[in-house]
Amino acid sequence: MFTSCADPNSIEGLTWLLCYLTTGKHLLFYASFGVVLLLLAITAPAALAFGFGGAMAARSPFLPLRMIGKAYTAMVRGVPDIIFFLFVPIALDQGFEWLRHKVKCPDWTEPIRRGSDFVVCPAAKLPLSTSPQWVHESYGFAMAALAFSVVFGAFAANVIYGAMQAVPRAQIETAEAYGMTPRQGFWRILVPQMWTFALPGLSNLWMILIKATPLLFLLGVEDIVYWARELGGSKTSQYAYPHPDWRVWYFLALLAFYLGMTRLSEMVLGRLTGRLSRGQATLGGEMQRKAAR
């Protein structure tokens, strides 16, 4: 806040608005847009890695591994997303604390499960109660990002599995006829071609991931939805900057942000689809060949 904004009652008009939009809470609101972008930057490749691993497991000739891959995609896709978003952070947090409890407090005699409470020794808590606030916030964000990755990884696994099945079997047979091993055929023939078939489905998942980022608010992360509701709610004279209910304006700003993100994503994904379709025996590749005549 500027020094001239120390007494809101002495300013008015655009100066008041400038002072209001530069308060400490508003700076946190602006920083929360970076939190959303960071979540997307972390979750997208992590979910893609989960999805690729799940698709490979679902295609494995080893029965137990194949069952794990199919169970992962079926279970996550068959359960409402919000349940996994709430379950994964809690389950992983308690699992990590339980492992730390076994290592750091081997002489602990009291039960960990006490009804609905989960109690471990103070040294096993994650994060420690003595840790600074940024550690607690970073840990909560990491658990949220992992939950997003697990959920969207299952959807990505289903898309990638279908894309692998869409690659003509004759391509693999030709590779084998030229002396390639199954591993070489997979990485040099199947994987490069399957991205063309997977990209439309992965593009839709990316759009859904963008729209799902407000769920950070439900996971305890102070994201843009949290601050829009906090700052937009009516403020009375007990606050430094009183105002009526302005939530509609804050949420209109979020609307513009998300529409801009989706529009930019459509442009980038459209160019990427055209690049991957070039020379491929797909509808997009055929359209490119006809346009070049």
Q: 81: domain CATH number?
A: 1.10.3720.10
Tell me the per-residue pLDDT of 79-97, one tens digit each, with 9 for 90 and over.
787 787 778 888 888 888 8
Tell me the per-residue pLDDT of 136-186, one tens digit each, with 9 for 90 and over.
888 889 988 988 998 899 999 999 999 998 888 888 888 888 888 888 888
Tell whether the model's pLDDT for residue 263 goes beyond 90. Answer: yes
Token pair belonging to 58: 């679902």
Which range has highest mean pLDDT (46-50, 131-135, 190-194)? Answer: 46-50
Q: What percent of the chain has pLDDT over 70?
A: 93
Which range has highest mean pLDDT (46-50, 119-123, 171-175, 224-228)? Answer: 46-50
d(CA 5, CA 1): 7
Mean pLDDT rounded to a whole number for the chain: 84
Tell whether the model's pLDDT for residue 279 goes beyond 80. Answer: no
Whole domain around residue 14: which residue ranges? 3-292
Identity of residue 183: R
- Residues in a beta bridge with 235: 243
Q: How many structural domains does the chain have?
A: 1
Tell whether the model's pLDDT for residue 24 goes beyond 90. Answer: no
- Residues in a beta bridge with 118: 113
State the pLDDT at residue 2: 66
Q: How confident is the model at residue 1 (pLDDT cuts 50, 70, 90)?
A: low
Cβ neighbours of residue 81 under 8 Å, at least 6 residues apart? 151, 212, 215
Which range has highest mean pLDDT (10-24, 125-139, 203-217, 267-281)? Answer: 203-217
State the pLDDT at residue 202: 92
Tell whether the model's pLDDT for residue 289 goes beyond 50. Answer: no
d(CA 152, CA 18): 40
